[in-house]
Structure 1
């Protein structure tokens, strides 16, 4: 171990361990949120422009944030999404394309997918979509809960090509009209989401407000990142063990060779 080669290998092991230790420290620093949102922050209604920009992903602390947004619904774009549960009962959501009023931070045209109401019956949901379409174009001011895109999936086997079982703005965009050059928010809005909230629009007969409770208050400690930090510490120790193991193997081979040479005399 005192030979130049193995001293050089020890220096290399020290360098590798130092890199692993730095990665562990970096991971540990990310494990604890030193500036968590205050309790109940998601229930304070904020303008959507203060929460997320069109095309941007919704940050984790803001999932479920109550927001307000103004605009008008586009005619012909009230679509039904199936396999939606309300108080444990399966049913359907009626959704619409809200063309957001332009502002300094919202370019024109920009749209937001909105889940307006729930029905246990598909026929009632389709009828509500027709009734809402008749009122499309009127200015509305919506308040609701902002939720991350669930991601598009293929329709179930045997179902029509228009069948949607996930609330995905990306999937809805494929069926929307007047979508050329359109900016789209990645998350969607559950209109009226939250206790005592108002959708900002009267629901047609057959629809009820979507149950969207406040998100659970999360811990400011990310245990997965702590686990990764421990892993990096183990890797740093393993670098020293590898140096010791290789040096010991080389020493044992030399001792074995000397013993064989002495036995052959």
Structure 2
């Protein structure tokens, strides 16, 4: 059959089939890329600073709509309520997040037997490589700005030593600090105290800023686009199959003509149709 496939028209047909298959493969890659793209881009509104007390309420669940929102708040730190969260990366190095309790001025009071007089929120103030580099938070009234993030889950089967926490978990910190808190935390970007920015980004000491940017939405699989990508692969294979099938049909026609010529030159008692069919099957399927 290779002799038939090497005919000029079938060589041209193969080139055309390969080109069509290549286009189909490119279309498949494009559809596959669309199947894993996030449907919603990063919301630029999260970069507009909003007042914390108007954005999130204590004593409630953390709504996903306010996650990553830049917020501002006025209040004071409690230097006695500060923990280090280990296992945090910064430029490839492993260190600690410094997390301090921040009493929010004007925050709604939470009612209940175990509620504290003031409402607090954990603030991740920066990253340190050595626990000894974690200084005390700014004193006095502080105007805080940072990114609002949902509470992390505490690590199971862990018992952190005093001054440590397994995660920035509100549930864990409430038990440690014994205060009422918001259902999330703030990654600080600025801490204005007495007119000066005392944040890690402004001071430039051993404590480094966290630099947490807005997080893109989780990728979702678009099953329709994924199906289309597989469909284009099938089409690519089908284009080559059609070429092969046409070559095979041409090969069979050549054999039939050759066998008919042999029969007319050497007739036999066997009917022409039967003889041709038997010899054809032997050559096509030896």
TM-score range, shorter-chain basis?
A: 0.5 to 0.7
What is the rounded CA distance, in whole Å, between the counterparts of 2:209 and 2:42 in structure 1? 27
**1:1-265 superposed matches below 5 A:** 39-102=43-106, 105=108, 108-125=117-134, 128=135, 131-132=136-137, 135-136=138-139, 138-154=140-156, 156=158, 160=161, 163-176=164-177, 179=178, 182-192=179-189, 198-200=190-192, 201-202=197-198, 203=200, 205-217=205-217
What is the rounded CA distance, in whole Å, between the counterparts of 1:222 and 1:48 in structure 2? 34
Contact (CA 8 Å) 2:53, 2:106: kept in 1 or not? no
- Partner SS for 2:75: strand
From the superposition, tell whether residues 80 and 63 of structure 1 become closer, same or farther in structure 2 (CA, over 3 Å).
Answer: same
What's the TM-score once normalised by structure 2's chain length? 0.52
What is the rounded CA distance, in whole Å, between the counterparts of 1:37 and 1:53 in structure 2? 26
| Structure 1 residue 47, shift from structure 2 partner | 0.7
Contact (CA 8 Å) 2:73, 2:145: kept in 1 or not? yes
What is the rounded CA distance, in whole Å, between the counterparts of 2:221 and 2:146 in structure 1? 28
Matched length: 170
What is the rounded CA distance, in whole Å, between the counterparts of 1:143 and 1:119 in structure 2? 20
What is the rounded CA distance, in whole Å, between the counterparts of 1:39 and 1:161 in structure 2? 39
Structure 1 residue ranges (4+ consecutive) displaced by more than 6 angstroms after TM superposition: 221-224
- Partner SS for 1:64: coil
| Structure 1 residue 183, shift from structure 2 partner | 2.9
| Structure 1 residue 75, shift from structure 2 partner | 3.3
Match of 1:258 in 2: none
What is the rounded CA distance, in whole Å, between the counterparts of 2:42 and 2:165 in structure 1? 36
| Structure 1 residue 86, shift from structure 2 partner | 2.3
- Partner SS for 2:133: helix
Match of 1:234 in 2: none
- Partner SS for 1:80: strand
What's the TM-score once normalised by structure 1's chain length? 0.56
Deviations 1:71-103 (A, max 9, x none): 101131121111112234321111111111125
Contact (CA 8 Å) 2:42, 2:214: kept in 1 or not? no
| Structure 1 residue 50, shift from structure 2 partner | 2.3
Larger radius of gyration: 2
Structure 2 residues without counterparts, runs of 5 or longer = 1-39, 111-116, 224-286
Match of 1:247 in 2: none
From the superposition, tell whether residues 153 and 217 of structure 1 become closer, same or farther in structure 2 (CA, over 3 Å).
Answer: closer
